[in-house]
Amino acid sequence: MNNNDIKNIWKSGVDADINPYSESELNDIVVKSARKSMKIIQPGGILRVVVVASIIYFIIIITAGDSTWEMRMLYFIGLLILSGSYFLYERASRKMNQYILGSPVKEWLEYRIDQVERSIRFKHKYDFLIYGGAILLGFSFSLISQLLVNSFNIVASIVSFVVILVIILIIKYNDNKNYHKTLMGLKEIHQQLEE
CA-CA-CA-CA torsion sign (52, 54, 57, 62): negative
Output the pLDDT for position 11.
Answer: 57
**How far apart, in Å, are the Cα atoms of 123 and each of 58, 88, 120?**
29, 16, 5
Q: What is the pTM of this model?
A: 0.73
Question: Could you tell me if 35 and 3 are in contact, meaning their C-beta atoms sit under 8 angstroms apart?
Answer: no
169: which residues sit within 8 A by CB, 6+ positions away? 131
Q: How far is CA 186 from CA 97, 115, 119, 183, 189, in A?
A: 13, 11, 14, 5, 5
Least confident of 12-21, 37-46, 58-67, 161-170: 12-21
Q: Which of the two residues, 1 and 184, has the higher pLDDT score?
A: 184
Predicted confidence (pLDDT) at residue 189 exceeds the cutoff of 80? yes
Return the pLDDT at 102: 72
The pLDDT, as a whole number, for residue 17 is 53
The residue ranking higher by pLDDT, 22 or 77, is: 77
